[in-house]
Amino acid sequence: MARPASALRGHILESALHLFASGGYEATSLHDIATAVGCSKASLLYHFTSKDAILTELLTPAGEGLAALDTQLAPLDGREAAEAAVIGYVDLAMRFRREIKILFADIPGMTAHPAMGSIPGTVERLLDALAGRSTRTRDVVAAQMVLGAVFLAGASDVDVPAQELRDEMIRASLRTLRPDPGPERD
């Protein structure tokens, strides 16, 4: 019995996400995806014109989530901006863990992908929010560390319950952004 087109499309996306995250985008062929789905390559190509089109559809929701976070953070300042940025960014990292693995496996190639579009500018604004809109060196460096650490933790296969991982990522990020007062340096 044939599957409804929408169900097949969803299965193609889920299988591709799994294969791209576990074996890498470049190493995964359309044939691999079709085999995992249990359909012909022609059926797969009916739904998606290319492997690149599949990747674009997989990465678009993460980009939209980041854009929504950017909009939410825009009116915030200082500590409020930093805390909202941490929580929002960690939540995105938890929601899109497999997509982050795909990005992490080939950062240079993935950042050049058309689906990434306005992501670099959005990430710059996220860094600004994480730093609490501060330009002090220690705040900017701490924001960069949090951005990288959350990205890495999101891509990891650590064997920790999701809620516990989320809570610890938020706590560690906030600690990094709120260090003990020390000598002021710029």
- Asked if 80 and 168 sit in the same domain, the reply is yes
Q: How far is CA 147 from CA 23, 82, 88, 111, 162, in A?
A: 25, 12, 12, 15, 19
CB 88 within 8 A of CB 69: yes
- Asked if 73 and 156 sit in the same domain, the reply is yes
Positive or negative: CA dihedral 46, 52, 55, 60: negative
User: So what's the pLDDT on residue 12?
Assistant: 98
**Least confident piece of the model among 52-66, 80-94, 169-183:** 169-183
Classify residue 35: in a domain, yes or no.
yes
Number of domains present in the structure of the chain:
2
Classify residue 185: in a domain, yes or no.
no
Classify residue 54: in a domain, yes or no.
no
CATH number at residue 45: 1.10.10.60
- Asked if 66 and 119 sit in the same domain, the reply is yes
pLDDT tier at 180, thresholds 50, 70, 90? low
Whether the predicted pLDDT of 71 surpasses 80? yes
Classify residue 142: in a domain, yes or no.
yes
Q: What is the average per-residue pLDDT within 139-165? A: 94
User: So what's the pLDDT on residue 6?
Assistant: 81
Classify residue 73: in a domain, yes or no.
yes
Classify residue 125: in a domain, yes or no.
yes
pLDDT tier at 69, thresholds 50, 70, 90? very high
User: So what's the pLDDT on residue 121?
Assistant: 87
Q: pTM of the entire structure?
A: 0.87
Classify residue 172: in a domain, yes or no.
yes
- Asked if 102 and 126 sit in the same domain, the reply is yes
Classify residue 98: in a domain, yes or no.
yes
Tokens, residue 3: 């599957």
CB 32 within 8 A of CB 90: no
Residue numbers of the domain that contains 147:
59-177
- How do residues 88-125 score in pLDDT, each as one tens digit? 999 999 999 999 998 888 777 787 777 777 788 899 99
User: So what's the pLDDT on residue 105?
Assistant: 80
Alpha-carbon gap, residue 8 to 13, rounded angstroms: 9
CB 164 within 8 A of CB 180: no
- Asked if 115 and 63 sit in the same domain, the reply is yes
129, with CB counted inside 10 A (0-12, 13-18, 19+), is buried
Q: What is the average per-residue pLDDT within 20-34? A: 94
User: So what's the pLDDT on residue 116?
Assistant: 76
- Asked if 118 and 34 sit in the same domain, the reply is no
- Asked if 17 and 76 sit in the same domain, the reply is no
User: So what's the pLDDT on residue 179?
Assistant: 64
